[in-house]
Chain A
């Protein structure tokens, strides 16, 4: 969505200059598909565990007792059960979005793609905002066109529900990249690279080191020769320049170097 200068500038809040980018349409679509799949998965599991055994036992009871007040009561009960089931599915679907968005600002699907729902006025999302933008999904997502046109045409890529509730979905590269780290968490890696100021590692060394480190750290195998650990430790120290002379823990060094090699390798192979 690089149509409007507002998005490129990144100032998206009213009266507040903040460098955030509104979310691209493709990421919102993928996040929504992931959320729907997750909710459907929970509904399937609930059906297998609770609903099907419940209905079967109820039907068995109904076939045993057909006459009298109890029989009539059971017949009325079967309609009630269908209504409760529908209400349960609807409340699960809506409750999922309202709960996660009001609590954290992102659903599990949004988190994967680095999206977050924010209020255009700043501050936290209120529950009523979440409920409003959730109810508008019937128009935006089920009818497809209103939401699509609204996202493509508005300056900040808001769908109708966003416009009505005064919310905005933003995209954070940092949050999305958190999924890309294998050996350490992103924040730990950034803190360590700040402290150790690593230099660029040649791609051959990256490949060789990953072949050595991957079975140890990801498959739980012991190193074949312990001399190799010493050898790699010395090579690591050629690329890592700690600012202080505090002692370094060997394992932290090896894991950090593995992550460094991993990131370097991914970046260079992506470019070529």
Chain B
């Protein structure tokens, strides 16, 4: 390709030193996911109520018998939670690169290979498979390693090739 714009260029040797973003730190991300958890929890309160009431009325189990309803209603609620989390993170990660909690903390989740926003499926893998399964199986160590690595990647970031950065 031929340079058609012969403008003088001031060469700045500081390329790579002064950066628009840096890897997001552990506590900032902890606060962000805390806020996100609250938002998901608040949004699911009506659904959880409906599930528990529908189950109790449907089966005729008295309200005082908490142990009998507990396990199945909880399992249904977990199912709803996973569906909601899929759409919540999928929508926000693919359209704006961050969930509301992450945006409040100035964080963005990017594909670490291409540097673009995640797709719906990648967001699902990262949030549900990565956090619910991988990090739970490693009793939380998956989260903790984010604090000790230089690029601040947690286990779900390493496996599914994502990166959390702090803007500005």
Contact = CB atoms under 8 A, between A and B. Distances in A.
Interface stretch (A64-72, A84-92, A154-162, A214-222): A214-222
A218 B100 CA distance: 21
A248 B110 contact: no
A202 to B, nearest CB: 12
Given A183-B21, A242-B7, A269-B116, 17 more contacts: A36-B38, A37-B42, A41-B31, A112-B100, A179-B103, A182-B20, A207-B114, A214-B114, A216-B15, A216-B16, A233-B9, A234-B1, A238-B5, A240-B5, A245-B7, A249-B12, A251-B14
Contacts of B39: 33-34, 37
Nearest to A234: B3
A33 B38 CA distance: 9
Nearest to A180: B96
B115 A210 contact: yes
Contacts of A103: none
A218 B15 contact: no
Contact of B7 (A210, A213, A237): A237
Contact of B100 (A30, A233, A235, A248): A30
A229 interface: yes
Tell me what chain A mostly uses at the interface: helix, strand, loop, or mixed.
helix
B101 interface: yes
Interface residues of A, number: 54
15 contacts: A41-B34, A41-B35, A182-B108, A183-B21, A217-B19, A219-B23, A220-B16, A223-B16, A238-B3, A238-B5, A242-B5, A248-B8, A249-B10, A262-B115, A269-B116
B16 A112 contact: no
Contact of A237 (B4, B15, B117): B4
Contacts of B34: 41
A220 B19 contact: yes
A20 to B, nearest CB: 22
B18 A248 contact: no
